[in-house]
Amino acid sequence: MRHVSGLIVFSLLLTACMAGGGSAAEQTGSDIRIEIGPRLSAPRATHQLIAAGEGRLLAIGGCVRSGCEAGPASATVDVIDAQSMEMVGGGSLLVQRIQPSAAALPDGRVLIFGGWVDGRVSTTTEIFDPATGKSLAGPVMAAPRNAPAVVRLADDRILIAGGYDGSDVRSDAEIFDPTTGRLTATGQLATARSGATATLLTDGRVLMVGGGRPDRAPTRALASAEIFDPTTGRFSPAGQLAQGRYKHGALRLANGDVLIVGGSDARDYDGKLRSVERFDVAAGRFVPAGNLADPRFKIADGLLLLPGNKVLVAAGDTAPEIFDVASGTGARLDYDLGGQWNYMTLVRADARTALLAGGYREGRIEPTDQSWIIHLPKG
């Protein structure tokens, strides 16, 4: 598609525009182009999108039916070639998982765990191998977990902290070691939390921010943060946000600080946030950092750092936006995604390209099989 010309280009652009609600390859003021990407094998939301080894992008599980319900495709994996952005294969999970957690392992396989299985929050894990398209059972977690905070540590171990167990939020944490294939308990969070973010700092510690109790009444959005030190296995307080939030996004900036973006207060849909805060690592505190152009939540997997101290916030509305860290302002891109999507996933394919995939339409809770290729600026 990228190398054809003339009438063929016009035809393809028109077709993609009709399918996605916007121009297939629209130039924006931020030097970002967006075009329609490959169709997933099924509509997916609350899924995972992982960059695995050997140039593969994996779209994993998730809800596949209206109402964000499970179906046979909730136990499938789509394999997308990161260079051609074409669907090149698929695979199978051991069970149907809604809202699974996942983390890439050093050897190209992927640890997949928790989420909702057969109507209950699961303790099970599995390890998917994109080379074979199959999963093998992994170790059982100490507790059922949905929406825990997950991060790959500097030594390639996977930290899994908190989450919702089907009854209430949890404060315990465990670590998966890919060299042994085992899970071991580690320190306890000071505050039980689900829907929090976990961001690896440059010194190897992990910043855990917000979250709370979004899954049952009375809901609660936390303003507290904690830092996990893998050398001691302990969590320690890390200051307070100006605004309690869950289902937000977080990412580490080039200077090592962490940007905390959007989310919701305890009112959920009625409490979506525009505010942005920054964790100043040197000072050990949060400072106001500005506002998005639009309130957005369910965006934890929808952020990407861009050159020039800017952040692409792709999920949570009918158009992505670019947040300028220096000015503290967001600006919508001139591109219509064809819906207001929650739980979209965004992953970088290479230095110049990213893939945005799936999500469900807010209000009607209808997952989509659509994806979008995002051409990034140089830098």
User: What average pLDDT is seen over the chain?
Assistant: 92
pLDDT digits (tens, 9 = 90+) for 58-74: 999 999 999 999 999 99
Based on the number of CB atoms within 10 Å of its own CB, is 209 exposed (0-12), middle (13-18) or buried (19 or more)? Answer: buried
* 175 vs 7, residue with greater confidence: 175
pLDDT in tens, 312-362: 999 999 999 999 999 999 999 999 999 999 999 999 999 999 999 999 999
Per-residue confidence (pLDDT) for residue 30, from 0 to 100: 63
Over residues 6-27, mean pLDDT: 38
Residue 372: pLDDT over 70:
yes
Supply the DSSP symbol for 173.
E
Q: What is the pLDDT of residue 54?
A: 86
Q: Please write the tens of the pLDDT for every residue from 101-141.
A: 999 999 999 999 999 999 999 999 999 999 999 999 999 99
What is the 8-class DSSP label of residue 241? Answer: -
pLDDT band at 165, cuts 50/70/90? very high
251 neighbors 259 (Cβ within 8 angstroms): yes
Residues 6+ apart with CB under 8 A from 35: 1, 16, 24, 25, 372, 373, 375
Closest to 138 measured CA to CA, from 147, 129, 148: 129
pLDDT reported for residue 168: 97
The per-residue pLDDT for range 220-276, each reduced to its tens digit, is 999 999 999 999 999 999 999 999 999 999 999 999 999 999 999 999 999 999 999
More confident residue, 87 or 25: 87
Give the H/E segment covering residue 118: none
The answer to whether residues 90 and 84 touch, using CB atoms and an 8 Å cutoff, is no
CB 227 within 8 A of CB 233: no
The 10s digit of each residue's pLDDT in 39-57 is 999 999 999 999 998 899 9
pLDDT of residue 20 exceeding 50:
no
Residue 9 pLDDT > 50: no
| Distance of alpha carbon 128 from alpha carbon 333, whole angstroms | 36
Measured CA to CA, the distance from residue 250 to residue 260 in angstroms comes to 5
Is the confidence at residue 23, as pLDDT, over 50?
no
Residue 175 has pLDDT above 60, yes or no: yes
The pLDDT assigned to 378 comes to: 82
What is d(CA 237, CA 319) in angstroms, rounded to the nearest whole number? Answer: 36
Residue 294's contacts (CB-CB under 8 Å, 6 or more residues apart) are 274, 316, 317, 321, 330, 332
**Nearest to 261, CA basis, from 323, 308, 199:** 323
Q: Which residues have a Cβ under 8 Å from the Cβ of 255 and sit 6 or more positions away? A: none
Burial of 97 (0-12, 13-18, 19+ CB in 10 A): buried
Looking at the chain, the whole-number percentage of residues with pLDDT higher than 70 is: 92
pTM: 0.91
